[in-house]
Structure 1
């Protein structure tokens, strides 16, 4: 609901503050006074393109702001919260727009900059403007479908269909993906088989490549190793190198030293020194044994060629699937599992085909159920709107809502239906698509009739066509059940709705706008006193001499005697005793 609209330097309006009523608000004034600028302000808050020529002469920029109140849980609050622009605790949403003379306009939501796309996204849940240009949007089949779904209250059928459609899309996507991969999978399976066979032929073992490199290093340095061993062993124990030699060994010399120290026969440092020498001699004997065993490990002829060939084979594996033999073995094991899955792909393909077929059948079944609900609601909607048009000075006019169920191949995310709103503006006129077959005033009254019928369905809380027990006002009008009525957060704005209307039809027009205002906020721009008199609040747009010498537009709320005089002016152009009395009677009689 729009709580407040403030405008600065927009066209002829230098400043205006409008606080609409909760129910119905009328905006009146002489032709050319600037009422359209208030509508332009609201359109700017809805994200429409801005023009620099809208700025008041002599001003640098125009600025508009709307304050909207939304109930807890309203979709708008969720949208702006996700955008990082949360509303106030009381559900107030502040939307503003500044339009410079030159350059790009700027938008803000709750005091923070926001893209125009966000304004466009949330405005559809805040304001519905029914003017000559705005109503062209209802020519869009998508909007007509959404309107019908809202009227049909087919949330359950829609939810069932959307769930079934989502499942079908998911299985179809998986099936298409597997089909697209079939050729690639066959080639990949061949590659895996050949690779696994090659690895199995080489039959590597964990860490084998490292061991072979160590062996090759030893063989390639065999002469250097042999010479070093002989020199070391010759120094430690010559008999290890030359059994016929008689040179002393380091171990034998240590034994002599140990015997000499032990022969002293005195403990202490001598005995401790003997013990340490014996320990050293034990380690030395182990070392000599180890080195001498290395001398015995002779390289057989042809060993180096075999080792190099094996290293080459292993190197081929590590280059392709390495970098180590352990990596090669891990890749082979994983590939065997992958190959098993690929070999089972025909079964998986058939399984997915069956699942996809099942999900499509479920989506078609849900779409047909949704289509039946839409068709029933469309018939009722057309009949009820046609009845309302009769009371809005459009005798013989009518709306037909066609819901044509298409072939199964036409199934899409919206179902199977081709939905069209066909309007007959006058008797004898051919049925033409809505939005392309009537004047602005006729379209405004058509939209009013549609909104009235939709509001009745929402108020009743029952699907169209069911016995909802709505009350009648005695004149054939179905009035909302006041005990069930819940005020909608939507603000409806009507422009040109009174074009070509007068007399009794004007009274009925006002009555129906007031009836819609029972459940929704309604703002109407009107020239008719019979319409304005039904409003809960009335604002007059008029021109006055400005402080700078020019002419500017001001917006004033009128109430009491001031409003009575404005209604009298609208009736006769003057404030005569007769017109004032007529205005008073009109205001008194204009009540639901």
Structure 2
């Protein structure tokens, strides 16, 4: 509930202080006096875009503050919960201070409970405290989401909505789990295929440990065979020419060493000569072995194999080492490890099948809950449409009508809000087509339609008890029948007069029983129903500047204002009529 609105230097208003009634408050005044600036002030503290051109001439900035009673703080109070979540302080008496400063140059500043706050937070909090029904503000109700929220709150289908939300949440969680496992399974299957193909590729080559090094060494010998043969033959010629030519007469190195050994042993003196002979014997044994080794290399030169085959084999081995190397031993180690990993992989098709069954079961439960919710919505839609049509008839809109369609979508289109496509369709006059709200009504007609909706919803809450879980009015995130909510109506009296104007005032007063109502009006038949009335009037003028004054009228002053609205003057007849109108504008207990 708005307890106080203070405005400084906004348009023609240099200073204004309003303390609206808890019930119905009327704001009246001549056309062009500046009543719209009070609505602009409300929009500013509700987080709307700043318009520096609205700053009063000669002033550096505009400042607006609204003090609201948000009710008792607690987790169940969405207003105080949002403020606490933002880390801002709460007043002990439940008051909420929303302020906005708008300079001529520079960025606007928002404050909540005396602390700087983001404009988005101001918008969120104000959206739970006040709803403006003016031509520029009605389009929010054209949103399918707002229409669904309004219908759910009116239907009182909180239990059905909660049951569906729970069932749908469980279904989606199971579905997400199944999809996750499928993705994991797909990845595991791909990995298993890779391991099988890799192992098979290695097995087709069938390498053995160190084979790559051996083949490369063999290839080197073949490629250098002539050089190797010449070197070996030269070495053998020097050591034992008989290995090269059996008819050669030159003694071998071993034969020469044998002569030296015999000569030393022939001395017959032990000591250095015998030791030298023994060393020569050892050397001769090594020479014999070396000659044998070199001669065998000559025999192997023609048995090294086909160089093309060796190169092909080396190529196959290189393909393996490029993928799993750097050498064949690493390839063999990787293959062994891959074989163990492949054995450990479990496709678990039974687990997937079991979870798929759970998903289908939970989906069935969610669909059942969604259909129950749809039935509740459809029943409430028919009732709400009929009652709104009756209210529209009393608001000088005979023949106008509202049709609320609840159309179930296909099962596969189920979302977190159910199966329903909900449309609020309005017929502004008899014979006209039903069109979506916002496309089929003028500003005044739409304001009266919103009044009818708010009134029917509020009285439905009063008769059945408030549903604190719902958001039943056409604004954002607030509750029909909640005395902390403030409804502001502008242009609701456009095109209305006579008896219909009286009925319009009566219905605004009825809505004010369950919520705070502020109406900007030029009709005395509407203003007379208010618990408190403020007049916006032009004050002193200086050049082109006009100052607007806002003051509360009571007693005789209010009678004179009602008389002015009735006849444009304060004649005896108009004053008498004003007193009669004020006296008759009372709701019956």
TM-score of the aligned structures, taking structure 2 as reference length:
0.71
- What's 1:48 paired with? 48
1:440, 1:367 → 2: CA distance?
Answer: 36
Residue 70 (structure 2) pairs with residue 70 (structure 1): yes
Distance 1:339 1:367, change over 3 A: farther
Residue 547 (structure 2) pairs with residue 552 (structure 1): yes
More displaced, 173-182 or 162-171? 173-182
- What's 1:3 paired with? 3
- What's 2:32 paired with? 32
- What's 1:233 paired with? none
Shift of 1:339: 7.5
Query: Paired residues, what number?
Result: 447
Alignment of structure 1 residues 17-416 onto 2, 5 Å: 17-72=17-72, 73-189=76-192, 342-343=345-346, 345-416=348-419
1:496 pairs with one of 475, 491, 496: 491
CA displacement 1:108-161 (0-9 Å, x = unmatched) = 111111112112222221111111111122111111111111111111011011
Say if 1:189 and 1:339, in contact at 8 Å, map to a contact too.
Answer: no
Say if 2:5 and 2:65, in contact at 8 Å, map to a contact too.
Answer: yes
1:437 pairs with one of 437, 440, 443: 440
- What's 2:513 paired with? 518
More displaced, 506-515 or 118-127? 118-127
Max Rg structure: 2
More displaced, 543-552 or 439-448? 543-552
Say if 1:192 and 1:339, in contact at 8 Å, map to a contact too.
Answer: no
TM-score of the aligned structures, taking structure 1 as reference length:
0.71
1:103, 1:583 → 2: CA distance?
Answer: 48
Shift of 1:487: 4.7
Could you say what secondary structure the match of 2:556 adopts? helix
1:560, 1:4 → 2: CA distance?
Answer: 22
Residue 567 (structure 2) pairs with residue 564 (structure 1): no
Say if 2:155 and 2:380, in contact at 8 Å, map to a contact too.
Answer: yes
Shift of 1:316: 6.7
Could you say what secondary structure the match of 1:343 adopts? coil
- What's 1:586 paired with? 581
Shift of 1:358: 1.3
1:413, 1:428 → 2: CA distance?
Answer: 37
1:160, 1:131 → 2: CA distance?
Answer: 36
- What's 2:460 paired with? 457
Gaps spanning 5+ residues in structure 1: where? 199-311, 321-330, 465-484
1:194, 1:120 → 2: CA distance?
Answer: 61
- What's 2:528 paired with? 533
Distance 1:584 1:106, change over 3 A: same
2:458, 2:34 → 1: CA distance?
Answer: 31
Say if 2:98 and 2:111, in contact at 8 Å, map to a contact too.
Answer: yes
Shift of 1:181: 2.4
Say if 2:185 and 2:347, in contact at 8 Å, map to a contact too.
Answer: no
- What's 1:303 paired with? none
2:113, 2:453 → 1: CA distance?
Answer: 33
Distance 1:383 1:28, change over 3 A: same
1:68, 1:83 → 2: CA distance?
Answer: 18
Give the root-mean-square deviation of aligned CA atoms: 2.9
- What's 2:231 paired with? none
Shift of 1:171: 1.0
Shift of 1:546: 5.4
Could you say what secondary structure the match of 2:378 adopts? helix
Could you say what secondary structure the match of 1:104 adopts? coil
Could you say what secondary structure the match of 1:428 adopts? coil
Shift of 1:25: 0.2
Shift of 1:103: 2.1
Say if 2:406 and 2:423, in contact at 8 Å, map to a contact too.
Answer: yes
- What's 1:472 paired with? none
